[in-house]
Each structure stands twice: as structure tokens, then as C-alpha cells.
Chains A and B, each alone.
Chain A
Amino acid sequence: MSSNNMSDPRRQNKILRYKPPSTETNPTLEDPTPDYMNLLGMIFSMCGLMLKLKWCAWIAVYCSFISFANSRSSEDTKQMMSSFMLSISAVVMSYLQNPQPMSPPW
């Protein structure tokens, strides 16, 4: 018994619960990519809708995908879904108003 205690370093009474590190104290440690991409996606989709620019709408779709890929699991899905839906609607509206294909910039 005593040898077991000596070699076994585990102590049930010393258990401490996990506390997620607070991000308010260390804002630099957080990855800002999903937030930036979310914002960019919204801006591009609004541009695409208002100015009827197809390429803006497509870039917005890409931005929302990138934001989703980089997001933390703690972030709620509603935000992601709303930006995603907004970008898809921007693309659809651009094509409904103007069914011509997109012309490349060159």
C-alpha cells in the first residue's frame, strides 16, 4: 500500500476544474480571422446587392466560407448562417436582375 502511494503521483483531492482562459485579458491570443472575414463578407454582399456587381457577391460567398472554416466552435451558428445566407442571396439577386454571364476584368 505504502509503495503504491509513493509511486502513484495521482491525488484525487488535488483536482482542480478546468477554467477556460478568459480572452478579455489576452485579446492578442485570439485569432481575428473569422471576425474579419465575417465583416468583409457582409460588406461585399451589401456592395453586390446595392451596386449590382456580380463579382462582389461571389467574393462575399468566399468570405463567408473562409469565416466558417476558421470559426471557433464556441461561436454560435446563427451568425455564420446569417452571413452565409446573405452572401448567397446577393449572388442570386445579382443574377436575377441581370442574367448575363460575368465578364472577366481582362
Chain B
Amino acid sequence: MRALPLLLLFLLALPVSRGRYNDDFDDGEDLADFDDNDFAEFEELSEDTVTEPEDSPPPRYTSPSTADEDEDDEATVELEEGQDGFDDPETQDQDLYSKYDQEEFEGIGDMEKTSHSMKDPLIIHTVPAHLQNSWESYYMEILMVTGLLAYIMNYIIGKNKNSRLAHAWFNSHRELLESNFALVGDDGTSKEAVSTGTLNQENEHIYNLWCSGRVCCEGMLIQLKFLKRQDLLNVLARMMRPACDQVQIKVTLNDEDMDTFVFAVGTKKAMARLQKEMQDLSEFCGDKPKSGAKFGLPESLAILSEMGEVTDGVMDNKMVHYITNHADKIESIHFSDQFSGPKLMQEEGQPLKLPETKKTLLFTFNVPGMGHPSPRDMDALLPLMNMVIYSIDKVKKLRLNREGKQKADRNRARVEENFLKQTHAQRQEAAQSRREEKKRAEKERIMNEEDPERQRRLEEAAQRREQKKMEKKQMKMKQIKVKAM
């Protein structure tokens, strides 16, 4: 009963609204624009409703009216008559909607649904990192660049530290070297042999110095082998495994400056390593390293020697004194007249010739400070340089007695024989292959000969030569048999 008057009121409202439409149309607005404006309101409410706009305005017109009242004055509904009826728009709307036939009015049910869905909570998804436009998403790149900058900083700092250490060493040793050598510092490129007076930088961590022009020796090459402070990877590796800077000195001697002996002293580890690696130490000093305590040296040092006489000769009081006082800085000392470097790893078997040897004194010293030396630590190496100079003079004066000399000569002959025996098979093979090559070359020559006459003659000559060889061989065999008997 109540519904009827409501319906009547609504139907009355219709012409009013229609009238409004007409008014608007009379104003001269485009029909299309007008339609758009109106229907835009409906579209805002629900996207799903694709109904004909003419059918839907009546039911839908009421709900957006409250929202869009401010926006569109023309669209206000003059519902004075039906104001009472529409005090509670929501419930009344629903009643109205339920009255409308589902078939006639498409999309009304959907509207109900959408109004419900609008009450569900909004889920805000996070934008994936690669679509954001902030610097924070590039944190891996920033990390990489920071790493590179750290590497560059370390390179500069390490390079400078090594350079400072090298120059500190040179400054403290310059006087001693200049008083002992006529040529201090040479890179081999200048025309005249003039002292450059500077270190030769081979690397960011290796510095060379060549000194020459002295009695008793040909020259002395000093290599300052610092740790790779300029490489960050190396710095990190050294945190696991501490290592020392090293100073390596190699003195090459003339033939008359040294007698024939091989001798080495140093830390036990270094001696074990050198005995395995070095060609001359492995051949001439076959015994295990002897403890230094027997000769008055600290327990930590070991001696490798060709014969006892050599050890007694080298280890005089002054040397023992030097070595004992600076035992912590000495890695190895190696005197040899048969020095040829480390054992070469052969790929095709042993070489056919003995490696070239040179009379050499080698010294390897550790810089104190265990990886973190200060420039003042370089002064601590000065007495060791004095020891080197003393050794050069001493070796010149050291001469083996007759017995020792004989022993030494026998040793050298033995080593050479061994070497020849080992390579005998190889040398035979080489000779055989050479002979075959010659035969092949001759045969080819004969084949290439065009004149058949000459060919025949050459063949005959070759045959005769072969026969002669066979006869010679048979003769030799007979002679050997006779001798054996």
C-alpha cells in the first residue's frame, strides 16, 4: 500500500527530470555532449553496466545525485515533492531496485554487487624494484662501484708505501754501495756506462739495482721484492697467510774469483725447498740438511754442503757472528760454482746438453716487520749488506786443499757422466733420426734425377756405400769379439 504512492511520486519525478533535459536541450547544447555528461555519471558508478542509457537513467539517477550535486547544478533533481519519500535513499533505492525486473533492467544486480565490493578492503601491491625509480633499487651497482673505488684507493696507497720503502732502503745503502762499486744503478739502455744512482722499477712491487765495477766480482743484482700492496686481492689473501718483503741479492763472479764448491745455509724450510728445486744443490749436496747448531749457528738454521771442508772454510768466526746476530732476517745464503737456476721441467725429456753454469753467490733476506715494515726497518738490513761484501772478498780467498779439490773434481765428473748416461738414449735417437734424414734426402735426389743413366749410376753408388758400411760394422763386431776373448 505504501509502495503505490511512492511509485506515483517517482513517475511524477520522471517528467520533471525529462523536462530538465528539455531545458538543457533548449539552451542549445549539443545532444551528444549532454548525453555524455549525463551518462558519464552513471559510468562512474559501475563499469559493468553496459545498458542502454535511456533505460537506466531513472533508477540510477537517484544515487549519484547526492554525490554530484555540487558539480553539476543543471543536473540537480528538483525533488521537492518527493523529498519525504527520499529521506532514506539507500534502503529506498534497494526497494526500488528489487522491484525492477532483472530482465528489463540489465546490470542492476551488478550494481548491487559492485556496491558491495566497494566495501572490501583495498589491497595495495608493492611495485617491483625494477619499476621503481629510486636510487635505492640500484644498491648492487652502488656496491660494485664502491668496491672499485676501494680497489683504486688501495692501489694508490700500496704503490706509495712500496715506493717509500724502496727509497728508504736505497738511501740507507747508497753510501756503502757507492764506496764499493764503480757503477751503481744501470738499466742497460743508456749508451755510456754511467751510474743512474736510482732504482729500476720493474713493477709496482719489484725494484732492481745493478752494481758493477769491483774487484772479485762481475756484478751484483739486488732485487727488492715487496709484497703486492697495490693489489687488494693480495692484501686480503695476506690477512690469511702472513708473508714478508724480501731482498734478493745475486752476485755473479768471474771464473778466477771462486774455487769449485757448492754450499748453502738458511732456514730449515728454505733449505728443504732449495734442495728439491735447485739443480746444483740436488746434484752436489745429496745429504739431508745438517742442523746449524753443530757449527755454532742457531738451531733454526740448516746447512747444505758438498763436503765438510767447504763448511769449515765458509763458516769462519766472522760469518758465524754475522749469521747468529741476524738469523731472523736470513732466509737463505747459497754459494755455488755450478749454479744454473732451478730445475727445468722438461716436456720432451731431458735436454741434450748440460745447462750452462755460472759462479754465483745468492742471498735472500727477509725484511723485519712481517709485512708491515716501516722505512726505519730498512736500516736494519745494512749489516747484512756488509756481510755480502765480506762474503765476496772471502770467497775469492777461499781455496780448497788438494784433497778437497780432487773430491770436488770427481763429483763434477760424476754428475756429468750421469747426465750423459741419462741422455744417451735420447742422443742415440737423435743421431738415428739424422742418419735417416740423410738417406731420405739422397733417395729423393736420385728420384728427382731425370736422366735415367745418371739415376742408375747414383743408385749403384748408394748401394756400394751401403755395402761398405755393413762390412765395416761386421769388422768392428769381429774385433770386439776377439778382444773379449
Contacts and interface: CB of A to CB of B under 8 A. Distances in A.
**B and A form one assembly:** yes
B137 interface: yes
B202 A72 contact: yes
Interface stretch (B10-18, B42-50, B209-217, B365-373): B209-217
Nearest to B135: A101
Interface stretch (B78-86, B91-99, B186-194, B411-419): B186-194
Contact of B193 (A8, A15, A25, A71): A15
A102 B183 CA distance: 58
Contacts of B221: 18
Interface in A48-71: 58, 61-62, 65-66, 69-71
B186 A9 contact: no
Interface string B212-239: 1111101101000000101111000000
Give chain A's interface secondary structure class. loop
Contacts of B129: 101, 103
Interface residues of A, number: 32
A61 B144 CA distance: 10
A102 B187 CA distance: 49
- The interface size bin for chain B is 35 or more
Contact of A73 (B155, B202, B232): B202
A78 interface: no
Interface in B119-143: 129-130, 137-141
B214 A17 contact: no
Contacts of B138: 101-102
B204 A16 contact: no
Given A10-B181, A66-B231, A101 B140 contact: yes
Contacts of B183: 15
Contacts of A61: 144, 148
A3 interface: no
Contacts of B219: 16, 18
Contacts, number: 97
B291 to A, nearest CB: 30
B188 A11 contact: no
A72 to B, nearest CB: 5
A36 to B, nearest CB: 12
B219 to A, nearest CB: 5
Interface string B143-187: 010011001100100000000000000000000000111110011
A9 B214 contact: yes
Nearest to B196: A18
Interface in A1-28: 8-20, 25-26, 28
Given A62-B148, A69-B155, A18 B186 contact: yes
Given A10-B182, A17-B188, A69 B216 contact: no
Given A19-B188, A26-B341, A70-B228, A10 B204 contact: no
B130 A101 contact: yes
Nearest to B252: A16
A16 B144 CA distance: 51
Given A66-B233, A72-B202, A101-B138, A15 B341 contact: no
Given A10-B182, A15-B213, A66-B151, 8 more contacts: A9-B180, A14-B182, A15-B183, A16-B212, A16-B219, A72-B202, A102-B140, A103-B129
Interface of A: 8-20, 25-26, 28, 58, 61-62, 65-66, 69-74, 100-104
What are the 5 tightest A-B residue pairs by CB atom distance, in nearest-first order?
A100-B130, A18-B210, A18-B188, A15-B213, A18-B186
7 contacts: A11-B182, A11-B214, A16-B218, A61-B148, A69-B231, A70-B228, A103-B140
